[in-house]
Copies of this chain bind each other. A is one copy, B any other.
Amino acid sequence: MTEKKLQYIEEAGMAFELFGMTRMAGRILGYLIVCDKESVSFNEIMDALKASKGSISGTTKQLITIGFVEPVSLPGDRKTYYRISNLKVGSILKARIQLFLKFADVLDKGRSLKEKNDRVSEWTLEVSSFYKWFGDEIDLVLQKWEREKENIIKQKTEDNENKL
């Protein structure tokens, strides 16, 4: 593993902390992204990240649960291997939107406890309504992405080539 890649892995760790994930989870994802292997074993991860067995065990489980990583089994090999899963963009986004719906519920509950119908209750009503509406609207957005993505990605690839 090159110095640059090791450095990237730490950056990924920090970045994923912003999403409420642990630094170790970010490191593992970062490693799986840059390692240039189809899949890697438990011990490879441990060695690459210089972390404890317990930490790798717990964190890979977490990553599998939320769907970013998937375990791979190979014939004639008792080890489990791990790789980045082909998680759909929609499902990553939708998981995040669940948080907004929770937020909307809290606002609604707050409004129901008020004795007055005032500026604040109008605000909580609008914000809550928006997030609930948005939760449905997102499906339309994702459909649009499916229609347009081929062109958008091709364009992006060409842009990168022009930069060289």
**Which residues of A approach B to under 8 Å, CB–CB?**
4-5, 8, 11-12, 15-16, 18-20, 30, 32-34, 36, 38, 83-84, 86-87, 89, 92-93, 96, 99-100, 102-103, 106-107, 109-111, 113-116, 118-120, 123-127, 129-131, 133-134, 137, 141, 144-145, 148-149, 152-153, 156-157
Contacts and interface: CB of A to CB of B under 8 A. Distances in A.
B84 A130 contact: no
Given A8-B109, A12-B110, 9 more contacts: A8-B113, A18-B102, A33-B120, A36-B116, A96-B96, A129-B153, A130-B149, A133-B149, A141-B141
Given A89-B130, A134-B93, A34 B113 contact: yes
Copies of this chain, complex-wide, total: 2
Nearest to A116: B36
Contacts of A153: 125-126, 129
Contact of A103 (B15, B130, B141): B15
A84 B121 CA distance: 10
Contact of A110 (B34, B38, B83, B107): B34
Given A18-B102, A120-B84, A156-B125, A36 B144 contact: no
A84 to B, nearest CB: 5
